[in-house]
Amino acid sequence: MSETRNIDMWSATSMVVANMVGTGVFTSLGYQLFDTQSGFALLMIWIAGGLIALTGAFSYAEIAGRLSKDGGEFHFLSEIFHPALGYMAGFVSTTVGFAAPVAGAALALGAYLQGVLPNVSGPLIGILVIIGLSLLHAKSLSIGLLFQRISTLAKVLLMLVFIFSGWYLGKKSNIDFSPNTAALNEIFDGFWFKASFSVSLVWVSFAYSGWNAAAYIAGSIENPRRNLSRSILLGTLVVMVLYAALNWVFLSSTPIELLKGKKEVGLIAAQQIWGPNWGKFMGGVISILLVSTISSMIFTGPRVLKTMLEKVPQLRFWSELNSQQIPMRSIWLQAVVSIVLLHLMDFESLIYYVAFTLSLFTFLTVLGLFVLRFKQGKPSGYNAWGYPLTPLVFLIMTASVCLFFVQMKPFESLMGFATGIVGLVFWFMSRSQRHI
């Protein structure tokens, strides 16, 4: 079936915001505090992560405008480099890029709910949410998009309430936000970032990892030459500002000792700002709004999976669309993978695995912009702002963070490489049938 362009710019932007805002921003800070104690250094992690995401977003916006079809990195790398690399990226996108973050968000949702209702089974709630949202998106495209826009708006409003409440009501902690010598020493080791700062950037890259969400549904967006780049850039800028402000509130309202090593930093900060009872209420609201993050990935991920599976004859059954152009079977296939991962991996390992593996293929995709420019010249539509400087900054920063990560987290790094290699199996299956 041909692709139907039925997603407007605001719906696409809401997908970007919803994919980005969720598990990462409400969980990452507690793990960053193991290695970094300066308020200035911690905020710089979030600002640096946002700038890296933004430089990547400039490049993705141009690539997606040129190759405006569903599939994300699977489609991009297949067209730019080779189908084998595309299949590796496609397998990573469908497992690490969507199914694993769905599992991570479900685990975080469970942790928040258990902080409010101790007798609730977090994993069970996560499973029920995955099943419920899969039913919603498999049944109706219009209702699914409406739910996504409303839940994303509610999530942004909650963050604004959190930020302004923290500004006026939060009990000031003794953390120092000044760029003093001690703070700079936590960031730099000579002329480059410290290894601990770079590993913290992995956590932040996970929090920002949805900035390329609209690229995965490029083939479904109305007027993609205009709306695709706008949705990617607008969504990334909005989230960057919200993240920096929200983490300032967490740090300024709550003692570091209470946040260190905890997943549910939003719940802990809410209790410091509003008191135990209202804090629990806000923690419950956060857990409900994490549903928006899960929803956006359940909407987006199966469209990447469908694009890949339809090219593999043995698996084409799972790529078929229903009468409403919804990849219903791919939705349920992703749901099963998410539930399996929810049981197999703990939260910290899951996030490291996701962030590192996705960084590898976003690196290759941005590198592909130089190949497109060499082959085709400047585009007639959106031009990546700051080219060639912005993609070079993204490539240098991403490569540096990945190298530090391989040294400090070899097991998760090996898992990431192994996941990409599994994607080659799908390419060989396709090649054996189609002789490509």
CATH code for the domain of 90: 1.20.1740.10
- If one compares 432 and 436, the residue with the highest pLDDT of the two is 432
Q: Pull the structure tokens for residue 425.
A: 């199996």
pTM over 0.95: no
Domain count, the chain: 1
Cα dihedral sign for 26, 32, 36, 42?
A: negative
How many CA atoms within 13 Å lie on the side-chain side of 196? 16
Q: Which residues have CB under 8 Å from 295's CB, separation 6+?
A: 18, 133, 136, 137, 144, 147, 148, 151
Tell whether 3 is covered by a domain: no
Decide the pairing of beta strands 188-189 and 192-193. Answer: antiparallel
Tell whether 353 is covered by a domain: yes
Q: Pull the structure tokens for residue 237.
A: 């800028």
What are the b/e assignments for 412-423, b being 16+ CB within 10 Å? bbebbeebbeeb
Average pLDDT over residues 413-423: 85
Is the pLDDT score of 170 beyond 70? no
Give yes or no for a contact between 214 and 14, defined as CB atoms under 8 angstroms apart.
Answer: no
The overall average pLDDT reported for the chain is: 80
Distance CA 151, CA 157 (A): 10
Q: Is 192 helix (H, G, I), strand (E, B) or coil?
A: strand
Distance CA 124, CA 411 (A): 28
Tell whether 105 is covered by a domain: yes
Q: How confident is the model at residue 390 (pLDDT cuts 50, 70, 90)?
A: very high
Q: Which residues have CB under 8 Å from 246's CB, separation 6+?
A: 25, 159, 162, 163
Q: What angle do CA 285, 287, 289 make, to 5 degrees?
A: 70
- Ranges of beta strands (E only) in 152-291 are 188-189, 192-193
Is the pLDDT score of 15 beyond 80? no
Average pLDDT over residues 12-33: 76
pLDDT digits (tens, 9 = 90+) for 308-361: 777 777 777 777 877 777 888 889 988 998 998 888 777 777 777 877 888 888
Residues linked to residue 7 through DSSP beta bridges, in sequence order: 221
Is the pLDDT score of 3 beyond 80? no
Average pLDDT over residues 264-269: 84
Cα dihedral sign for 277, 278, 280, 285?
A: positive
Distance CA 105, CA 290 (A): 7
Q: Which amino acid is at 357?
A: T
Tell whether 4 is covered by a domain: no
CA distances from 351 to 266, 304, 400 (A): 18, 21, 19
Q: Which residues have CB under 8 Å from 148's CB, separation 6+?
A: 11, 14, 15, 18, 292, 295, 296, 299
Range of the domain at 58: 9-434
Give phi and psi for 310, each to the nearest 5.
-70, -15
Distance CA 433, CA 436 (A): 8
pLDDT of residue 108: 81
Q: How confident is the model at residue 2 (pLDDT cuts 50, 70, 90)?
A: very low
Distance CA 350, CA 109 (A): 15
